[in-house]
Amino acid sequence: KAGVTQTPRYLIKTRGQQVTLSCSPISGHRSVSWYQQTPGQGLQFLFEYFSETQRNKGNFPGRFSGRQFSNSRSEMNVSTLELGDSALYLCASSLGAGSGGYTFGSGTRLTVV
């Protein structure tokens, strides 16, 4: 059974650019959540999508956005990149609503220069 797949694994972008990260959840999982991990702030929740609808959103600026497709795959987009956006971006999938069963991908390491 394939796990959560995130692409690309590594990315280097310049300040002011935008970036799109992709996440393919485990087959059958309908919920996809995104997290940002930085040394200073730890793991912080970005947003969650379920059946193509954003269900929850963390405390991040509007430059961070996402979407989910009908096959449950999800993308997140960061526009007008800042140096502080350098982080490991993690995606987690689960079957549906409620607790438990979260499986994380290996993440995308974004470096903004």
Q: Which residues bind other proteins (CB under 8 A)?
A: 4, 6, 31, 33, 35, 42-45, 48, 50, 55-56, 58, 88, 90-92, 94, 97-100, 102-107, 109
Whichever of 62 and 100 has its CB closer to other proteins, that residue is: 100
Q: How far is the CB of 8 from other proteins (least distance, A)?
A: 13
Q: How far is the CB of 92 from other proteins (least distance, A)?
A: 7
Both tokens assigned to 92: 């987690």
Whichever of 19 and 25 has its CB closer to other proteins, that residue is: 25
Among candidate residues 34, 75, 32, the one with its CA nearest the CA of residue 50: 32
Whichever of 16 and 101 has its CB closer to other proteins, that residue is: 101
Q: How far is the CB of 36 from other proteins (least distance, A)?
A: 11
Q: How far is the CB of 14 from other proteins (least distance, A)?
A: 23
